[in-house]
Amino acid sequence: MRDWRSERGAAAVEFAIVLPILVVVLFAITSFGIALSRTHAYYSAAREASRYAAVHCRPEAITCDNGLIASRVTATANGNPVGPGSPAASLNCTANAGQLVTVSWSQAIPVQIPLLPDMSFTTNISGTFRCE
């Protein structure tokens, strides 16, 4: 006759061993998804800001400067913080019709997963548009 009591609690022990790994994987998927979403929002904001610079910041302003471009990036970044760099245009489109204007800045992307070291990184975000 077998002694079945020796097997009691084996599933609970296995679950206790596997649960932390599953939790870390779940948080990793979520954190990387958030980082990817933020990166996409920043690139979209850079494209919008370069289009804004290409049309001379119209209809909001007569002259275009980096302050207006930075405010456009902040407004179109879907509530994500912009920085540590400040968005700036590579040239003024007033006298450069047909040239490419690039809006770029350095951006920190946080990736924080519980029980793992910080995986945040900094990337250069840029968008290019042809001056009108």
Segment 6-17, tens digit of pLDDT: 777 888 888 999
Give the pTM. Answer: 0.83
19 CB-side CA count, 13 A: 6
Write down the pLDDT at residue 1. Answer: 53
pLDDT tens digit sequence for 62-78: 888 899 999 999 999 99
Phi first, then psi: what are they for 55, rounded to 5°? Answer: -100, 20
Residues 75-99 pLDDT 10s: 999 999 998 989 999 988 888 888 9
Non-local CB neighbours of 61 within 8 Å, separated by 6+ positions:
68
Are the C-beta atoms of 104 and 126 separated by less than 8 Å? Answer: yes
Structure tokens at 76: 């179109």
DSSP string, 74-116: HHHTTTPPP-BS--EESS-TTS-TTSEEEEEEEEEE----TTS
Q: Tokens 């079945």: give the residue.
A: 4
Residue-range domain boundaries for the chain: 7-130
Distance CA 11, CA 90 (A): 62
Helix axes 10-54 and 66-76, enclosed angle (nearest 10): 140
